[in-house]
Structure 1
């Protein structure tokens, strides 16, 4: 009987712990697309050539498949523990010249990205200054 009581108690405890979200999975902010800010959009002028637009904004994320005269610059920031922020700029061309600029989302504010966008987690005991393997070599003496 004691064995059955222990098993039931352990089962109930595991069931209660599994429902808790205290030990959750680590999440990161996920930026995707072309980073578009207010300064870039303000510099766009009707009549600019496609090359001038590429120099200013970069390559478009999307070109309309049925209309090569429409470029889309989309930026989406999926915050790990918050909302999703999305911006979209649609540029319309007539021939080789910029004709129209449409925007969606709040372009007025800048998006602040975290500074620690390195690859992988930081390892304790390491520094940013890396020693060159050549510095550790002692010259061979005959």
Structure 2
């Protein structure tokens, strides 16, 4: 009888400790370039690569086969909820100047106006 009682206590202890695992704090896991909308709105057509680095920082990924295409990728996994989201921004250059920007961020209305004007 004592053998079963010890086994029952051990099983209840394991189950009760497992129930507490929901209370453990899990950190958020951000990865990549965190871009703010206000920074992306500073981009303009014909900006140089150095100017883009100054505004957004260095890209996470540069295409190995196309050095004129930069990828800014940001992903986040929320620790407590497990929710995942991702934002991408792709900048393409022609003659070392911004030619096209695409992705999840909105560009400013002045994007097509070069900085000199």
Alignment of 1:43-82 (within 5 A): 43-82=42-81
Quick one: higher RCO (CA 8 Å, sep 6+), 1 or 2? 2
TM-score under structure 2 normalisation? Answer: 0.77
Q: C-alpha separation between the residues in 1 aligned to 2:93 and 2:3?
A: 76
Tell me the secondary structure at the aligned position of residue 102 of structure 1.
strand
| Cα shift readout 1:26-85 (whole Å, capped 9, x = no counterpart) | 311122211111111111111111111111111111101111010011111211113122
Give the conservation status (yes or no) of the 8 Å contact 2:48–2:96. Answer: yes
Q: Going by fraction, where is helix more abundant, 1 or 2?
A: 2
Q: TM-score, normalised by structure 1?
A: 0.65
Structure 1 segments of 4 or more deviating over 3 A?
Answer: none
Q: What's the counterpart of residue 41 of structure 1? A: 40
User: How many aligned positions are there?
Assistant: 104
Task: State the partner residue of 2:21.
Answer: 23
- SS of the counterpart of 2:50? helix
User: Which of the pair is proportionally richer in strand?
Assistant: 2
Give the whole-Å Cα distance in 1 for the aligned partners of 2:34 and 2:10: 50
Larger radius of gyration: 1
Q: Does 1:95 align with 2:90?
A: no
2:111 corresponds in structure 1 to none
Once the 2 structures are TM-superposed, how far is the Cα of residue 18 of structure 1 from its aligned partner?
4.6
3-state SS of paired residue (2:21) = coil
List per-residue Cα deviations over 1:105-131 (Å, max 9, x = no partner). xx47xxxxxxxxxxxxxxxxxxxxxxx
- Equivalents in 1 of 2:14, 2:56: separation in Å? 53
